[in-house]
Chain A
Amino acid sequence: MAITYTSGEQVEVYRFSIPATVLIPLAAVFLQAWLPLRLPFFSIFDLPLLVTIGFATARRSPLAGLFTGSLIGILQDALTHQAIGLYGIALTVVGFGASSLGIKLDVEHAGARFLLTIFFYIVHEVVYFTIARGMVGLRMAWSWPHEFWSGLANALLGVLVFMLLDRVKQRT
């Protein structure tokens, strides 16, 4: 079992099999594109974001986290009609941040995962909003209540997604 040493504490590092690494993000993007048409309320969730956070915190490697986030984000961008890179940049930051924080914090508990997801949901929205409005020129309005409730909903779902990811992750 590979152990990284941070501030004198030992944290476990996990990896995912190649099929899981490929299929889980694909499934997340697919469900995100497909489910809101059948269940409109599902558009409040962001499955690719949750998967990015889940992978990043489990791997605890900033490089792996940022590349995972970048690829998932670009895949998500490719399905939209907006410029490619909006989700890519936001998820790159989230992937890097989540894996960096995963080294420092214990993210095995549901409470920690819940708070971590809310935090990174807000980070994701702030980065996306800034790029979309400042660079691409999209008309967007920031609403704290909306972001708060969305963050809360995503955090709840995130706890479930992380539990599912726990089943497929392998100790290195």
Chain B
Amino acid sequence: MDVLGRYRNLIVLVGVLFAQILGLAVQVNVKRTTDSEPTRLIRIWAVGMITPLEKALVWAQTSSSNVWHDYFYLRGVRAENRGLKQQIERMSLERVRISQDADQARRLQALLAFKEQFISATMAAQVIGGSGSELSRVVFIDKGYNDGIRPDMAVITADGVVGKVLEVYRIPSTSKVLLINDQSSGVGAILDKTRTQGILRGTASGEVVLEKVMSDETVPAGEMVLTSGGDGVFPKGLLVGKVTKVAPGSELFLNIHVRPAADLSRLEEVLVVTKIDERQAEPDQTGAARAVDILAERLPAIPSKPEDAVKSGVPGTVAPGTVAPGTVAPGTVAPASTGSDAKPKAASPQASTASGAPAARKPASSASSAGTGSETSSATPVTRTTAAGAAKVPPKPVKAAAAPKAQPAVEDSPH
């Protein structure tokens, strides 16, 4: 008994350490044998104690911040509003170009019977806390089971992928999100241009690396990394980050460092992807918005077409939607159909958005590459005009077997 009394502290220490090591061994074994570890009661208690405080603090912080930003800090709002309006205009034009590309892609996918995934529902959530450990890169969000959040849902921001939901709690309604820079996370990734696939993993120091890319692949620094959709969590095509460094690694693989697009150290609000739909790709039947319509909205008025010019029988065609008032595209390629459902082919708003000029100043080569198929250009006449006026350079219709009768050119009135 004397020995027990003398070494009582040491015996208790050994006992407590032994119990914890035993518990640790059991957990490690469970994790190795099963895919998902059950949520321990102690985690629920801990989360129940800590996260309500975090929620309260974040709520107070957000409320005070909103009061400041909504009522006191309104300087420069008008200028910002003007800038945003201009940005919307530019983006609307850009959207037309992208929708044309997307439409073409959908047609091709439909031909190949591809199934596409798209995000159909998201839920905004606020980041309320973290784990407090550098070896466990997780964050807690203020939405949980009661809000419809479930494990393995993708979490993103406007900038890029953040992580996935790891655990979901009912009371308090909160969720634990595993960030992509944690060493236990894995994201199926693909390089944007080279289409090389790999697995994105975090490291102990919080960096993100792309693994399983063979060393004979060429991966340039600066290339975008997207989700490949192969992991079953993240839909394909979401931006993950950018390649920052490529070095030879071990076992014939490259060591590719990636900088996450989302700032993982300063997360405030995130989107949880609550629903991903998968459907057969179908070509868009509704018809994309036309660039000319958007351009027309920016202009005070569009002069009506002079009837005599239409009746004059000048050979050549001006595609609907390809010519902005005041300018005529050199080498504009008209679509085969000039009906109301015809899509604009040559107007590339990219050029106009860059220069601020109307859409139809793009040269023929780039115009034809921006979604205009070769079959369209071979079957339709080409209009060659200058910005000064359509009549200065008489267009020569391209003869093709299926070419319709040359339609009269419409002279654009100078703007």
Closest-CB distance, B80 to chain A (whole angstroms): 26
Bound-state CA distance A23–B21 (Å) is: 27
Closest-CB distance, B290 to chain A (whole angstroms): 46
Q: Which of A32, A78, A80, A141 contacts B45 (CB 8 A)?
A: A78
Bound-state CA distance A138–B291 (Å) is: 55
Find out whether the CB atom of B132 lies under 8 angstroms from the CB atom of A82. no
A11 within 8 A of B: no
For chain A, the bracket of interface size reads 35 or more
Stretch at the interface among B133-141, B270-278, B407-415: B133-141
Q: Which of B16, B17, B28, B130 contacts A136 (CB 8 A)?
A: B28
Note all chain B residues with C-beta closer than 8 A to A92: 13, 16-17, 20
A132-159: which residues lie under 8 A (CB-CB) from chain B?
132, 135-141
Contacts known (A62-B9, A78-B45, A89-B24); A138 close to B17, Cβ less than 8 A: no
A34-64: which residues lie under 8 A (CB-CB) from chain B?
34, 36-37, 40, 43, 48, 62-63
Q: Which of A40, A62, A82, A141 contacts B136 (CB 8 A)?
A: A82
Q: Which of A78, A81, A83, A89 contacts B178 (CB 8 A)?
A: A81
Closest-CB distance, B152 to chain A (whole angstroms): 14
Find out whether the CB atom of A37 lies under 8 angstroms from the CB atom of B43. no
Closest-CB distance, B147 to chain A (whole angstroms): 20
Find out whether the CB atom of A84 lies under 8 angstroms from the CB atom of B134. no
Q: Which residue of A lies closest to B31 (CB)?
A: A83
Find out whether the CB atom of B20 lies under 8 angstroms from the CB atom of A79. no
Find out whether the CB atom of B136 lies under 8 angstroms from the CB atom of A80. yes
Bound-state CA distance A80–B131 (Å) is: 5
Contact residues of A: prevailing secondary structure = helix
Find out whether the CB atom of B266 lies under 8 angstroms from the CB atom of A141. no
Note all chain B residues with C-beta closer than 8 A to A107: none
Bound-state CA distance A10–B134 (Å) is: 41
Note all chain A residues with C-beta closer than 8 A to B203: 139
B49 within 8 A of A: yes
The 0/1 profile, CB within 8 Å of B marked 1, for residues 69-87 of chain A is 0100011101111111111
Stretch at the interface among B50-58, B153-161, B186-194: B50-58
Bound-state CA distance A85–B130 (Å) is: 18
A88 within 8 A of B: yes
A33 within 8 A of B: yes
Bound-state CA distance A134–B303 (Å) is: 79
Contacts known (A70-B16, A81-B176); A33 close to B23, Cβ less than 8 A: no
Q: Number of contacts between A and B (CB, 8 Å)?
A: 135
Find out whether the CB atom of A29 lies under 8 angstroms from the CB atom of B132. yes
Find out whether the CB atom of A85 lies under 8 angstroms from the CB atom of B135. no
A67 within 8 A of B: yes
Find out whether the CB atom of B12 lies under 8 angstroms from the CB atom of A81. no
Interface residues of B (CB under 8 A from A): 8-9, 12-13, 16-17, 20-21, 23-25, 27-28, 31, 40, 42-43, 45-47, 49-50, 53-54, 57, 127-136, 138-140, 166-167, 176, 178, 182-184, 203-205, 265-267
Q: A33-B132, A37-B267 are in contact. List 8 more A-B contacts (CB 8 A).
A: A34-B129, A66-B16, A83-B31, A85-B23, A85-B27, A87-B133, A92-B17, A135-B28
Interface residues of A (CB under 8 A from B): 26, 29-30, 32-34, 36-37, 40, 43, 48, 62-63, 66-67, 70, 74-76, 78-89, 92-93, 96, 100, 131-132, 135-141
Q: List 26 A-B contacts (CB under 8 A).
A: A30-B129, A33-B129, A33-B131, A34-B129, A36-B132, A40-B265, A48-B132, A62-B9, A76-B132, A76-B133, A78-B42, A78-B43, A79-B50, A79-B129, A80-B131, A80-B135, A81-B166, A83-B28, A84-B23, A85-B24, A85-B27, A93-B13, A131-B21, A135-B25, A136-B24, A141-B205
